[in-house]
Amino acid sequence: MFKLSLTACSFLLKESHSQDKFHYLNEKITIEKDDHVSEYTIKDMLISFFKKYTESADDTDKQKTFHCEFDNKYQGETEDFFYVYTIIKSGSYGSASDIVDNPTKKVVYKIKANQTAEKPFYLYIIIPKDNKNVKVQKGMLFFQNVGPFGVKTITTDYMKEFFSNEFNITLICKTIATKLFVERMLTKDKVLKLIMTKNHKSDDPADNIYRGYGSETKVLGHLQFSDNAWNRIKSKINNFSQGRFNLFEFDQVQYDTLKLNVDIGGRNRIVNMHNLENLSLIEAISDEIMAADGHAKKDLLLAHFEKVAGEYLKDMVLQVN
């Protein structure tokens, strides 16, 4: 049976065609459209998105369906944040297949090419509350996945289109925090290789017409670090990721570039540690939250989302400006 997991990213709302005019999430947003001025809260906007897609949307190019189930009870608040969630139903079609009962090996149903087997996925949206020091501009999106299946890409594509068309707002998705990515995604058992590059190229273009300039790459695989050695390496990785001009030191050699071959959700990915801005956090969800049918137990999942949101908020920078 497929495992459940959580994909998390931050989001920002920027006024379209502006360089850096980001909206504050706890203030009403004024929208002028067709000579009419309206005010909306971020929750108003999100709920209007859910309601727009109550009826199934059919992406014929990608051959995927998409719709949202929403009830006004699907919102609330904690001491630190407001939240609103929806249940997204989505699936793929385009190829006929047989549904087989595994114990008997008998075909119990035939799916036609124009039929879709939809799965339910929870989307939980966090709007942090302002405090005396910060007016919040960043929120969080939590997507629940089932094994290799998820809805982050299709959902954010529809959301970006909706926010642009309805409110003239650009929705931007980013990593929550580079420190969180390092702490929660880069564990000793998930990092498979270190790929380090020392750049010998001169800053003066005239120097580079001569031989002797270039780059030197060192790859370390089959890693077996002790806990103490790994903690030292991870501290250096974290320092390197905090600034694009930071260097990574290994065996008394300083490297300009560090890439990691990482197991993320069962898939190997090469992660450039100077380019974490657009990466999402992916974390396993406990088997206790999964019901016998392979789907999430709603109350336990929502409690898990609330707990993880509280942990993320401790390290998240909530303001752009």
- Examine the pLDDT at 265 and tell me if it is beyond 70: no
- Examine the pLDDT at 276 and tell me if it is beyond 80: yes
Residues 104-147: tens digit of each pLDDT = 989 888 889 888 888 999 999 999 999 999 999 999 999 999 98
Per-residue confidence (pLDDT) for residue 213, from 0 to 100: 56
Chain-centroid distance of CA 80 in Å reads 21
Task: Return d(Cα 311, Cα 118) in angstroms, integer.
Answer: 32
What's the whole-number average pLDDT of the chain?
A: 89
Residues 277-307: tens digit of each pLDDT = 888 888 889 999 999 999 999 999 999 999 9
At CB < 8 A and 24+ separation, what contacts does 158-166 make? 158/49, 158/53, 158/57, 158/66, 159/49, 162/49, 162/52, 163/13, 163/45, 163/49, 164/16, 166/33, 166/45, 166/48
Specify the pTM. 0.85
Percentage of the chain beyond pLDDT 70 is 94
**Residue 128: which residues within 8 A CB-CB, separation 6 or more?**
25, 80, 81, 136, 138, 139, 140, 313, 316, 318
Residues 179-235: tens digit of each pLDDT = 888 888 888 888 999 999 987 655 555 555 555 556 788 898 888 888 898 889 989
Residues 66-84: tens digit of each pLDDT = 999 999 999 999 999 999 9
Q: Could you give the angle at which helices 42-52 and 152-167 cross, rounded to 10 degrees?
A: 110
